[in-house]
Amino acid sequence: MLKLISYDFRRSRDRILAVLVIMILFQIGVWLSSGTTIEETVSIHLIVYFVVGTIFLFFAAFSYNSNLKSYSRRLIPVNAIYTVLSPLLLYWLLLVSLLLIGLIHLGLYVLLYSVDFMPANFWPVAAYSALQCTWSAGLILLMVMFACTVACSIPLKGKVWITLAVVAVLENGVAYLEKLLFNNYFVGLDNAFRFEVIKASELPSGIELVYTGSDLIGVLAFEAGVAVLLVYAMILMIRKRTEI
């Protein structure tokens, strides 16, 4: 497993490092040139981190799709579950590295502006949102990987369109089921951003974060079940391709 993760990382290493360098330079540029308030600048930084996380998702999906099409990779006696889990774990590791960069970034803000600019309840709300985003991003990646596997298993042209169609059907299907069961679309991802910013004049920062999301036990159980089914289906399709 570790060898597969290392192999996938080395293959995309230059692109990953290039994205990180560009992101860091852009963040520094925003920081130095911004004439807006700290809150607005932080919002720009968060958007950049979100975009980079999305780019990493595409890197992981492309790596998985490349492995499916690689004839030499199919000849390697690798357990099918490792083929499925290695890009997912690599993606989560990239998100963790992105989170660490964000924490260093936040530490620099604290050193320069003091901790007073941070809203009350920041750490519990931020930690919860980060964990939920990481899980939801992994689930979305599994959906994309499943679509790639289906497209590679069908002997038809236009595999890109097949992949897009399967992703659309799968995401809308899961969203519809969550709407029926929990009265909300993509509850897990939605809960990651379910917090309110409340003005509090007695606090140094003047604002407080209050989490307003719903209970996630049922949602996580449902999404975990979907993830297990996707992984199982991909393993079956990969084994069938290997036998062929």
Q: What is the pLDDT of residues 40-74, one digit of tens each?
A: 677 788 888 999 999 999 999 998 888 887 644 55
Residue 221 pLDDT > 70, yes or no? yes
**Would you list the domain boundaries of the chain?**
2-243
6-38 per-position pLDDT tens digit = 888 888 889 999 999 999 998 888 877 765 556
Q: What is the CA radius of gyration of the chain?
A: 20
Give residue 18's pLDDT.
94
- Bridge partners (DSSP) of residue 198 are 208
Q: State the residue for tokens 């992105």.
A: 98
pLDDT reported for residue 76: 58
CA pseudo-torsion sign 239, 240, 241, 244: positive
SS3 197: strand
- Compute the distance between CA of residue 125 and CA of residue 120 in angstroms, rounded to an integer: 10
Task: Determine the pLDDT at residue 189.
Answer: 63
pLDDT higher than threshold 60 for residue 208: no
Q: Please indicate whether residue 3 or residue 75 has the higher confidence score (pLDDT).
A: 3
Judge whether 77 and 227 are in contact, CB under 8 Å.
no
pLDDT score at 115: 62
Rounded to 5°, angle at Cα 24 from 21 and 28: 140
Determine the Cα–Cα distance for residues 90 and 141; give it in Å rounded to an integer: 11
Spatial separation of the C-alpha atoms in residues 233 and 236, rounded to whole Å: 5
From first CA to last CA, the distance across the chain in angstroms is 24
Which residues pair with residue 197 across a beta bridge?
209
Prediction pTM value: 0.84
* Residue 55 confidence (pLDDT): 94
- What is the longest distance spanned by two Cα atoms in the chain? 69
pLDDT tens-digit readout, 147-206? 999 988 888 788 888 999 999 999 888 888 887 887 766 656 666 666 655 655 555 545
